[in-house]
Structure 1
Amino acid sequence: MATSIDVNKQSVKQLLESGKKRKFVIPEYQRPYAWSAEQIETLFEDLAEYTELDKESTYFLGTIVSYTNDNGEQEIIDGQQRITSLFLLLRAFYAKLVSMVETPEAKNFKSQIESALWEQDELTAAVDYQKILITSRVMGDEGNDSFANILTTGKAKPEAKDNYSRNYNLFIEMVEKYATVQPGMFYYFIRNLLNKAILLPITADSQDTALTIFSTLNDRGLALSDADIFKAKMYNHLSHNEKHDFIDKWKKLDEDALNVNESMQKLFYYYMFYLRSLENDRKTTTPGLRRYYANNNFERLYQPEVMDDLNKLVNLWIVVNNRMEIENEKWSKNIDIKQVLDGLVSYPNEFWKYPVVIYYLRYHDDYDFEENFLTFLRKLLAVLAARYIITPTINAVKRGILNLDAEIIKSSSPKFDFNYVEENELKEKIKSAHRNTVRMILKMLAYQHQEELLPEKWEIEHILPQKWQSAYFVKYSDQEVKDLVEHIGNKIPFEKKLNIIASNGYFAKKQLSYKQSKVKILQDLSESHTDWGLDEIRERDIRISDELFSLLLSWGVNTVASSIDNKC
Structure 2
Amino acid sequence: MLEFWTKKDKENSKNKRVNFAANEDLLNKEETFEFIKQLGEFWCNPYNYLNPEAKKYFAILNTYQNRLWQMVVSVCFYKDKNDENKGIFDKILPQLVAYNALGLIYGKGGSSGLFWSLMKANVNIIKENKIKNIFESSINLPDLKMPSLENFIDFSKKARPQQIRYILSLYAILYNENQVMQWNKDNKNYSLVKAEIEHIFPRNWQNTNYNGWDEKEAQEYLEQVGNKMFLEKKLNIQAGNGYFNKKKEIYQSSYFIEAQDLATSPQEDWLKGDIENRNK
Q: What code does the residue aligned with 2:209 have?
A: Y
* Residues 426 and 295 of structure 1: CA distance in aligned 2, closer, same or farther (over 3 Å): farther
Which residues in structure 2 correspond to 1:537-556 (within 5 Å)? Answer: 537-542=275-280
Aligned position for 2:136: 417
Q: Any conservation in 2 of the 1:494–1:519 contact (CA below 8 Å)?
A: yes
Gap change, CA 1:302 and 1:488, over 3 Å in 2:
same
SS at match of 2:208: helix
The within-5 A match list for 1:333-344 is: 334-344=51-61
Aligned to 2:261: 524
Displacement of 1:478 after TM fit? Answer: 3.0
**How far apart in 2 are the matches of 1:375 and 1:506?**
42
- Provide runs of 4+ in structure 1 moved above 6 Å: none
Q: Quote the offset at 1:397 in angstroms.
A: 2.9
Q: How large is the RMSD of aligned CA atoms in angstroms?
A: 2.6
Identity of aligned residues (%): 27
SS of 1:470's equivalent in the other structure is coil
User: 1:343·1:381 contact (CA, 8 Å) conserved in 2?
Assistant: yes
Rounded to whole Å, the distance in 1 between the matches of 2:38 and 2:148 is 37
Q: 1:366 to 1:523 in 2, by over 3 A?
A: farther
Aligned to 1:402: 119
* Offset at residue 495 of structure 1 (A): 0.7
Matches within 5 A, 1:101-250: none
Q: Secondary structure at the match of 1:446?
A: helix
Is structure 2 residue 241 aligned with structure 1 residue 504? yes
Counterpart amino acid of 1:427? L
Shift of 1:362: 1.8
Rounded to whole Å, the distance in 1 between the matches of 2:148 and 2:78 is: 33
Code of the residue aligned with 1:467 in structure 2: it is: N
TM-score, with length taken from structure 1:
0.40
Change (3 A) 1:335 1:390: same
Deviation of residue 477 (structure 1)? 5.1
Q: Is residue 2:149 matched to residue 1:427?
A: yes
Q: 1:441 maps to what in 2?
A: 167
Identify unmatched segments of 5+ residues in structure 2: 9-20, 183-189
Q: Determine if contact 2:200/2:270 at 8 Å carries over to the other structure.
A: yes
Q: Tell which structure's C-alpha radius of gyration is larger.
A: 1
Alpha-carbon distance, 1:310 to partner: 2.1
Q: Which residue of 2 aligns with 1:379?
A: 95
Specify every segment of 5 or more residues in structure 1 that has no aligned partner in the other structure, as ranges: 1-288, 543-568
The residue aligned with 1:303 is 29
User: Which residue does 2:12 correspond to in 1?
Assistant: none
Counterpart amino acid of 2:218?
V
How many equivalent residue pairs? 243
* Residue type of the alignment partner of 1:307: F
The one-character-per-residue Cα deviations of 1:422-443 (angstroms, maximum 9, x if unpaired) are: 54x4433333422242111111
User: Aligned partners of 1:294, 1:465: CA distance in 2, in Å?
Assistant: 57
Shift of the alpha carbon at 1:476? 5.1
Question: How big is the shift at 1:403?
Answer: 1.4
Report whether the alignment pairs 1:534 with 2:280: no
Aligned partners of 1:364 and 1:500: how far apart in 2?
45
TM-score by length of 2: 0.76
Q: Distance in 2 between matches of 1:534 and 1:452?
A: 29
Q: Secondary structure at the match of 1:350?
A: coil
2:5 paired residue number: 293
Aligned positions of 1:77-96 closer than 5 A: none
